[in-house]
Amino acid sequence: MNFDYSDEENAFREQVKTIMAEKLPKEIAQKNTSGQGLSKVEIEQWHAILNAQGWLAQGWPVDFGGTGWTPIQKHIFEEERVAAGGPEIIPFGLSMLAPVLIAFGSDEQKKEILPRILNGDDWWCQGYSEPGAGSDLASLKTRAVRDGDNYIVNGQKTWTTLGQYANKIFSLVRTSTEGKPQQGISFLLMDMDAPGVTIRPIRTIDGDYEVNEVFFEDVRVPAKNLVGKENMGWTYAKFLLTHERTGIAGVPAAKNLLKKLKAVAAETEDDAGSLMDDPLFAARIAQVEIDLIAMELTNLRIVSEAQKGGAPGVESSMIKIKGTLIRQELTDLMRRAAGPYAMPFTPEIYEAGSNEGPVGPDYAATVSAKYFNMRKISIFGGSNEIQRNIISKMMLGL
């Protein structure tokens, strides 16, 4: 394949750079780049900016309000977004639920839900994992029993990212116990403010609050909220997870972090030299850079095939594994580069009017939080162990 971008693609890259410089609020870029969490209002502001530009629904067909971008254009946008400090687009409604609805949803669901995702009327979260069903998602136990024109839902979901902001949840529920576990799962849309829905926060090891437990107790859900056919939810879930896994790899974000790491490692302190003078540290940076280059080329091959009409299969599992390992290694190296300055800090230092400031260089303030947060990415979206099983079955026939 040809790794050179066409004149049209290079022109598109310049357009993205221009829009980022003109439209991305500097305070949002600064907070995002420094590792501070954005508020719901700031996230919605960023989405509204992209929507006004016509750049929010990047994977949607034009007929549904999408950009009509090619896979390579989406790849270019991600590179320039990260380089400019732009926040990532929250994926749950836009790039996870929407493709499922477009492929399998009813005309009524598409007409009603897709515009509300675009204009920000609805914030969706994902109800997949359960306390006893994470990597082994097919063992989920949340039940949905048909009762006339409704389903009655009982059960629990966990690790529901940004559920505290959401007013809607798309969820996998068990509608049958016949046959294999995968054959009795359905894909259901629910209101987070419906009677019987309870949400509880989970504080993660980095001290952040981004995940939740969600409980369902006799929640009545209109049967029209079923996506596709009953007991076919596993098919839709696999379709969705293929989209999620390629995003978890985060090639542009990893490239940006590597650039920062190399700059930090090259800094000198008095006559002590730099970390790049340490052969072991330099070797680890070299190895992760080699791995990242190889993964980027693999990602470009996947993008190129998608440009020709292909769809990622086992490749999404491959890039998910390698991408998560690379991002974990980079955050570990950055934490080591910060040394004692990477000690945990109080987030109050970023509050308006605070008299406290971060100890040490600015980059060090959030490296521990990023390190701990990245521990999870080899688990969610289908754990790396499960992805290796998928690869062995699909490629090796084991």
Residues annotated as catalytic are 244
Task: Output phi, psi for 305, to 5 deg.
Answer: -65, -40
- Measured CA to CA, the distance from residue 319 to residue 223 in angstroms comes to 37
Residues in a beta bridge with 296 = none
- At 216 the three-state DSSP class reads strand
Q: Between 251-266 and 71-84, two packed helices, what is the crossing angle to 10 degrees?
A: 30
Q: Which helix (H) or strand (E) holds 255?
A: helix 251-266
Scanning the structure block, which residue is given the tokens 């969600």? 214
Total residues found in the chain within this entry = 398
60 and 19 Cβ atoms separated by less than 8 Å: no
How far is Cα 365 from Cα 367, in angstroms, rounded to an integer?
6
Helix, strand and coil content of the chain, in percent to the nearest 5, comes to 55, 15, 30
CA–CA dist 385, 380 (Å, integer): 11
Report CA Rg, the chain. 22
Answer whether 387's CB lies under 8 Å from 378's CB.
no
Q: Where are the alpha helices (DSSP H) in the chain?
A: 7-23, 26-34, 40-53, 71-84, 91, 98-104, 107-119, 233-249, 251-266, 279-307, 314-338, 367-374, 384-396
**Cα of 326 vs its chain's centroid, Å:** 16
- Residue 176 DSSP SS3: coil
Look at residue 210 and give its three-state secondary structure.
strand
Furthest CA-CA distance within the chain:
78
**Among candidates 150, 270, 141, which has minimal Cα distance to 221?**
150
Q: Which of 258, 362, 372 is nearest to 34 (CA)?
A: 362
